[in-house]
């Protein structure tokens, strides 16, 4: 007959064996080799953007189009098998963050923006033959108000202000005798105050002695709509908009 002490000893022995087994398994996991490092088979001397730069997205979401960059050699020929790494500010993620160029010398990644609105500098880096080569790409993240402005712009403004047609909208830009300023045209729009932009949006171009082809939207858009449009214009401006009175430190 098994005594109580013998039973207890058996239970403790079983527990010890179980713990030892778990420890061994954990040790095996810990010592397991990490994912294989990408090994480049070639190096280039230049990086160029193929597509996906200068996109405008919403904070915390993936950009609509992937970012595609290409590695070239000294003669401008594409280089397959070169390593490219993508880097960005805190909060920005890439899928993948490192990749080898394909047979056309290109590397593709999906970019997810951070939770802060503004411009994000994305860096693509390849080791190169003698030194690292980098390429800077700018993407823009909109907050809620700026996103509302972008939706309103697409509904009421872009048909004339955006010279590029899209699958859902044919641009009227080329048909206009006096060309409207694209919202990205910072060299012109940055010089205009919020009050001036408000007057033009609400009362049309003649409010500031501008083209009568710009119609008034005061009966169509609310005050908050107008502010959202202006916020969007400031966000996508190129060069970036700098509010009056703001002091910027030089690098």
Domain-by-domain residue ranges, the chain? 46-142, 144-236
Cis status of the peptide bond prior to 79, with omega within 30 of 0: no
pLDDT at 250: 58
Q: Which residue has the higher pLDDT, 247 or 169?
A: 169
CB of 70 closer than 8 Å to CB of 106: yes
Q: Would you place residue 251 in the very low, low, confident or very high pLDDT band (cuts 50, 70, 90)? A: low
* Helix ranges, the chain (H): 4-31, 144-152, 158-161, 186-189, 194-203, 223-236
Specify the CATH class of 46-142 in words. Answer: mainly beta
**DSSP SS3 for 176:** coil
pLDDT beyond 90 at 186: yes
Please give the angle made by the CA atoms of 44, 49 and 55, to the nearest 5 degrees: 155
Radius of gyration for the chain, computed over Cα atoms and rounded to the nearest angstrom: 28
- Report the phi/psi class of residue 91: left, alpha or beta, with left for phi > 0 and alpha for psi in -120 to 50: left
Residue pLDDT, tens place only, 89-138? 999 999 999 999 999 999 999 999 999 999 999 999 999 989 999 999 99
Q: Would you place residue 247 in the very low, low, confident or very high pLDDT band (cuts 50, 70, 90)? A: low
- The CATH number of 144-236, from 3.40.30.10, 3.30.230.10, 3.10.580.10, 1.10.760.10, is 1.10.760.10
Model's pTM, two decimal places? 0.77
How far from 18 is each of 14, 23, 24, 117, 157, CA to CA, in Å? 6, 9, 10, 52, 69
How far from 209 is each of 21, 198, 199, CA to CA, in Å? 83, 14, 11
pLDDT at 37: 82
pLDDT at 200: 97
């Amino acid at each position: 007959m098994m005594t109580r002490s013998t039973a207890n000893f058996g239970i403790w022995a079983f527990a010890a064996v179980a713990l030892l087994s778990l420890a061994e398994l954990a040790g095996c996991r810990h010592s397991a080799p990490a994912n294989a490092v990408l090994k480049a088979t070639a190096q280039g001397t230049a990086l160029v953007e193929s597509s996906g730069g200068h996109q405008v997205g919403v904070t915390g979401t993936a950009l609509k189009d992937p970012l595609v960059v290409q590695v070239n050699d000294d003669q401008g020929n594409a280089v397959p098998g070169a390593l490219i790494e993508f880097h960005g500010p805190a909060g920005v993620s890439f899928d993948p963050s490192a990749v080898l160029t394909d047979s056309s010398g290109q590397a593709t990644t999906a970019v997810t923006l951070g939770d802060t609105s503004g411009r994000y500098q994305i860096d693509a880096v390849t080791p190169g033959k003698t030194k690292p080569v980098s390429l800077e790409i700018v993407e823009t993240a909109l907050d809620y108000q700026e996103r509302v402005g972008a939706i309103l712009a697409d509904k009421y403004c872009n048909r004339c202000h955006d010279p590029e047609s899209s699958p859902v909208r044919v641009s009227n830009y080329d048909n206009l005798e006096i060309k409207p300023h694209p919202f990205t045209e910072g060299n012109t729009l940055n010089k205009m105050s919020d009050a001036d932009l408000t007057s033009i949006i609400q009362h049309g171009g003649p409010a500031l002695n501008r083209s009568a082809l710009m119609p008034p939207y005061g009966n169509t858009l609310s005050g908050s709509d107008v502010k959202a449009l202006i916020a969007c214009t400031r966000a996508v401006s190129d060069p970036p908009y700098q509010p009056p009175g703001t002091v910027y430190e030089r690098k």
